[in-house]
A = this chain, B = another copy of it.
Amino acid sequence: MAEVKNKQVVLKDYVTGFLKESDLDLVENTITLKLPEGSNEILLPLFGYGVAKVLESGHPDYKKGDLVWGFTKWEEYSLVPSSRILFKIEHTDVPLSYYTGILGMPGMTAYAGFFEVGLPKKGEKVFVSAASGAVGQLVGQFAKLTGCYVVGSAGSKDKVDLLKNKFGFDDAFNYKEEPDLDAALKRYFPEGIDIYFENVGGKTLDAVLLNMRVHGRIVVCGMISQYNRAQPEGVTNLGNLIMKRIRMQGLAVTDYYPMYHKLVEYVVPKIKEEKIVYVEDIAEGLENGPAALVGLFNGRNVGKQVLVLARE
């Protein structure tokens, strides 16, 4: 009955406003690498989507040595309740970290959001905010593969370069250099926007609403600009929904997990044929997790932020 040291990242207390590294603690516990008889309530490590290897299993669907991805804790070793969704990894000839991104939750979010909620048609005009992020970079590439015109916004010159030169967006701009977002959108979309893939909320949404086309669709995936505000920015242009018959729809990725095989079928061949690329920002070691997490909220990461705890 091996007992090993187990590092964990825990939240010290409830956080208001922006998360700071000092709100997080790295602690070290021990864990017994054997299924316990009773409960395993210990601490409250942070949760997130991760890739892991099964060390022991009481569940008939998973056996020792299986690689899985799903909702895990921020710790080196985890006891996972059988009720929690874990997907077995079938394709191991792509980087395993992709199962936290393009082949994981963000991939499924981009796929379901763009295709199932956005219902794109060839030739339509697509705008993506936070476009170089874990989800946005995929939405842009899916849009190009569908024959759409796609423009992305991001928060630095490097990210804008990535959008244009690596992900194949038709155009891209740095929103921090656009004091008048409405005017910027009118420049990139003189005929208006058919599909807006919403990752940021607030003022961006307000400017987009002024530039949507009749029967446009707004896929509401995230509103990261609003998450750390005590009081969200008010959105004032919702009246545009009426005359333009806009459909604005939120999505939660968990609704679409039953169709996860469709993402795998669509994406894996395209990764191998290099028709889709995926950019990750990799931090090594649990001790660098807090800084990486905080970095997400001020846009420090470029591409999907991944934290590596161990390698195969």
Contacts and interface: CB of A to CB of B under 8 A. Distances in A.
Interface of A: 201, 205, 220-223, 226-227, 231-252, 255
16 contacts: A201-B239, A205-B238, A226-B239, A232-B239, A235-B236, A235-B238, A241-B248, A241-B250, A242-B251, A243-B250, A245-B249, A246-B249, A246-B250, A247-B248, A247-B250, A249-B249
Contact of A250 (B220, B226, B244): B244
A249 B248 contact: yes
Contacts of A249: 241, 245-249
Given A220-B241, A232-B237, A245-B255, 17 more contacts: A201-B238, A201-B239, A221-B242, A231-B236, A232-B236, A232-B238, A234-B235, A234-B236, A235-B236, A235-B238, A241-B248, A242-B251, A243-B250, A244-B250, A246-B249, A246-B250, A247-B247
Q: Which of A231, A236, A243, A250 has most chain B Cβ within 10 Å?
A: A250
A240 to B, nearest CB: 8
Contacts of A222: 242
Contacts of A231: 236
Contacts of A241: 220, 248-250
Contacts of A240: 250
A77 B251 CA distance: 52
A28 to B, nearest CB: 34
A238 B223 contact: yes
Contacts of A234: 233-236
Contacts of A252: 242-243, 245
A250 to B, nearest CB: 3
Contacts of A221: 242
Contact of A245 (B205, B237, B242, B251): B251
A215 to B, nearest CB: 8
Contacts of A245: 249-252, 255
A206 B261 CA distance: 37
Q: Which 6 A-B pairs have the closest CB atoms?
A: A234-B234, A241-B250, A242-B250, A232-B236, A247-B249, A248-B248
A226 B242 CA distance: 13
Nearest to A212: B250
Contacts of A220: 238, 241-242
Contacts of A247: 247-250
A220 to B, nearest CB: 5
A236 B233 contact: yes
A227 B236 CA distance: 12
A200 B302 CA distance: 42
A232 B238 CA distance: 9
Nearest to A206: B234
